[in-house]
Structure 1
Amino acid sequence: MSFRAIEKVFRNNHAHWVGDGFRVKQYFPLNQPETFYQRFSPFILLDYNEPFFFRATPFEVGVGPHPHRGFETVTFAFAGKVEHGDNLGNSGVIEPGDIQWMTAGGGILHKEYHEKEFSKKDRILHMIQLWVNLPRKDKMTNPKYQAITADQMGKYFSEDERFKLIVYAGEVNGINGPASTFSPMNIYKVDIAKGRTETFLEPADYNTGLLVLAGEVKINGDSSAKATDFVLFENDGKPFNITGVEEHSEVFILSGQPLNEPVVQSGPFVMSTREELRQAAHDFKSGKFGSLDF
């Protein structure tokens, strides 16, 4: 059997701080050409906060109120607790296995912190924030918020528990994820034991990549990928497989149908034209997104 070829492996060793609560490695768009917006559409940004130890503090730790327009922010919690609040009154805390899926649409202000009691303890935070582009026709849609808990996810556990599949969005091997999306995509996590091999098939036109969260795996039987490696596949319509190398490995997989539309990004805004970016900045500065006091 021939497999979906690997186009590139990103090994990002540089981390930076987002606010004072998230120490992230950004795989894209940082250090990627502007054409990468099309290459990995509809996914715009991937920030990975690998497991990181924080000391206890009585103070808020995170990112204060800030705007977004034109896309969705999706936060996946693997360890720790993240608290969200926005100026539309949505709020919630995500714990390990949960996700929060915020559609910024036409404009929203939000903030993200370590949950208050969690921040008072020595702790480990492990999470991903993903930005998902909206189709041009939906960029000014009404903002909304999906709080999805671990028990709502689509799941498959093998009888020997050497393979676990968690589906957040889309459909994978007959398992459906709960998230509502504006364009077709499959987002899922694989937990795999040493020596176990599992095969996955994504549509030929879907842009597909994976991030190794823990351990080490073989891709297609020969290419090794270790924790914090991001693997981008070619779009050749072939299956790919994952084999566990260490006793326990975890892999996060993104696959989505490209929007095939113009993309421009500036700070917290992702639009289709430069004029739309200027309008977004003007609307924020003139108060049309609402008050930062929430």
Structure 2
Amino acid sequence: MSNIQLIIEERPADIGHFLVGRLLPFRERRMVGPFIFIDHMGPAQMSDHQNLDVGPHPHIGLSTLTYLFEGNVTHHDTLGTNVEIQPGQVNWMTAGKGIVHSERTPERFRHSDKVLHGLQIWVALPRELEQMDPTFFHAEGDTIPSWEEGGVHYKLVAGEVKGHRSPVPVYSRLYLLELKNKERQTISLGKDLYGDVGMYILEGSVESEGNVYEPRRILVAKNSQLCDFVMGEHTTVYIFGGEPFPEPRHIYWNFVASDMALIEKAKEDWVARRFPLLPNEPDIVPLPPEHPSLRQKA
């Protein structure tokens, strides 16, 4: 990628069940376009007695995007959604003024060895939609636009780019584009991108301006119009970004807002059990103790 502004390497983060690779937010770059949080989950090898069990927890002010490479996760939320996400599908949950959900290993896999590998992404909402009613959308893999171009396979997970539009109902101008190749290829995307742009290298390598970049890091460009790079053999990257918001965002735990007062109210409501709750799921995730790393401004 030409004119690289910043390199963000994965940092280990304990989410209470296993370690993930935390990418955003980063101390020198809190957001890329509307993207405010990215975790690389796994690949986690889980035995027949190990399962993902993230109990009921709240969100406000954002949309979550779950995209799996391997494994299966059951999503259950207070809208009544109970769906299993599989590799290649997209779960898009918009919290708006507030939603509660859990994420667990599906029952049919709980007593067998398994792998969990994917991306967990948060996209901040425009200020005027932060208090919208919550919604949920599930996209089957065969509904996601994909095409071949110059020996590279493209898949548009979310947003709009290169004349294609994903069915995922986003609320601002953005894109999350997967590129895969088998042979070394030169890529030029400058004329197709807009706003901020970042690239996550999942596997393989990327070359730019004489430098070679390995997996598990984000490259952030200074200018989206100069997004040229070389993909090494058998490489997978994710190009993401879009139009940044005019005002900053606060992030605390699972809450995102342009006004800190909304986050303070959400904290109080969660402690007082004023959020809706999921039936038959008593393992509610408590509000974490006050800690500077949980209160950030993006």
Q: How big is each residue's C-alpha offset from its partner over 1:133-174, in whole Å with a ceiling of 9 and x where there is no partner? A: 011110110101110111010110248xx4100001222322
Please give the residue correspondences for 1:161-176 in structure 2 after superposition, counting only pairs within 5 Å.
162-176=151-165
Distance 1:155 1:281, change over 3 A: same
Distance verdict in 2 for CA 1:175–1:269, change over 3 Å: same
Equivalent of residue 41 in structure 2, options 43, 49, 52: 49
Find 1:238's aligned residue among 225, 231, 234: 225
Letter in 2 for 1:32: R
CA–CA distance in structure 1, aligned partners of residues 278 and 188 of structure 2: 47
Matched, 1:272 2:258: yes
**Residue 284 (structure 1) aligns with:** 270
2:164 alignment partner AA: I
Q: Quick check: 1:202–1:255 contact (8 Å CA) kept in 2?
A: no
1:11 aligned to 9, 12, 20, which one? 9
TM-score (normalizing by structure 2): 0.87
| CA shift in 2, pair 1:205/1:216, >3 Å | closer
Matched, 1:32 2:27: yes
CA distance in 1, matches of 2:61, 2:19: 25
Written as runs of structure 1 = structure 2, the 5 A alignment for 1:93-112 is 93-112=84-103
Matches within 5 A, 1:60-99: 60-99=51-90
Alignment-derived partner of residue 224 in structure 1: 212
Q: Which amino acid aligns with 1:176?
A: R
Q: 2:180 aligns with which of 191, 201, 213?
A: 191
Task: Give 3-state SS (helix, strand or coil) of 1:93's partner.
Answer: strand
CA contact (8 A) 1:105 1:142 kept: yes
The whole-number CA distance in structure 2 between the counterparts of 1:223 and 1:114 is 40
Q: CA deviation at 1:55?
A: 1.4
Q: Which residue of 2 aligns with 1:200?
A: 189
1-structure distance, mates of 2:159, 2:260: 31
3-state SS of 2:225 partner: coil
CA distance in 2, matches of 1:28, 1:142: 26
Distance 1:11 1:92 in 2: 32
Distance (Å, rounded) in 1 between the aligned partners of 2:84 and 2:152: 28
* Cα distance change, pair 201–171 in 1 and its aligned pair in 2 (3 A): farther
- What is the rounded CA distance, in whole Å, between the counterparts of 2:229 and 2:153 in structure 1? 12
Q: Which amino acid aligns with 1:62?
A: D
Q: Distance in 2 between matches of 1:41 and 1:167?
A: 17
Superposed displacement of residue 244, structure 1: 2.7
The two structures have a TM-score, normalised by structure 1, of 0.88
- Where 2:235 maps in the other structure, the secondary structure is strand
Cα shift at 1:74: 0.8
Q: Quote the offset at 1:262 in angstroms.
A: 2.9
Gaps of 5+ in 1: none
Counterpart pick for 2:121 among 117, 130, 138: 130
SS at match of 1:89: coil
Taking every aligned residue pair, what percent have the same amino acid on both sides? 28
Deviations 1:40-99 (A, max 9, x none): 231111111142221122x64231100111111111111111110011201211111111
Shift of 1:276: 1.6
C-alpha displacement of 1:223: 2.8
Secondary structure of 2:202 counterpart: strand
- Checking the alignment, whether the CA contact within 8 Å between 2:33 and 2:174 is kept in structure 1 is no
Contact kept, 8 Å, 1:205 with 1:258, in 2: the verdict is no
Name the aligned partner's letter for residue 244 of structure 1. Answer: M
- CA pair 237-81 structure 1, distance change in 2 beyond 3 A: closer
Distance in structure 2 (CA, Å) of the matches to 1:139 and 1:173: 28
> Which residue identity does 2:58 align to in structure 1?
P
- Which SS does the other structure have where 1:282 is aligned? helix
Aligned CA distance change for structure 1 residues 209 and 202 (closer, same or farther; 3 Å): farther
Q: Distance in 1 between matches of 2:191 and 2:127?
A: 24
The offset of 1:242, in angstroms, is: 3.6
- Local SS of the residue matching 1:106: coil
